[in-house]
Homo-oligomer: A and B are copies of this chain.
């Protein structure tokens, strides 16, 4: 199933929220399996559709995890030594409420402070406005022979 097909053409194709969670409970962001269970629990609570997941324990500490959703993805990187976790949630449908998921993530990881930034991804008018750095230079005008 792909929840991302046929969005309204005038709307953004996706919504991307970056959550910086501070003063997390270090124990909750240290262990791969416990962190995976916590995040899968949050996604299930909000009725996200889990497609695949990858969680990796780093040495000496820190976990990276990604849950691929039919609605897009949730990723996390943790620094237990700083009580810090950086998450990002990308969705292409309005069925997942980013603010509600943010609250659940904060509770699940015992965070005392959260910074959130949210970005519209694939806004047609932004794409057409040609913002940002082009990957390739615009085609050069080639003078007509003899001009």
Contact = CB atoms under 8 A, between A and B. Distances in A.
- A: interface residue count bin: 35 or more
A86 B133 contact: no
Given A111-B135, A114-B132, 10 more contacts: A4-B79, A5-B61, A20-B121, A20-B126, A86-B121, A88-B88, A105-B135, A112-B135, A112-B136, A116-B133
Contacts of A86: 13-14, 16, 90, 121-122
A54 interface: yes
A127 B84 contact: yes
Contacts of A5: 58, 60-62, 81
Interface string A109-132: 001111111010110001100111
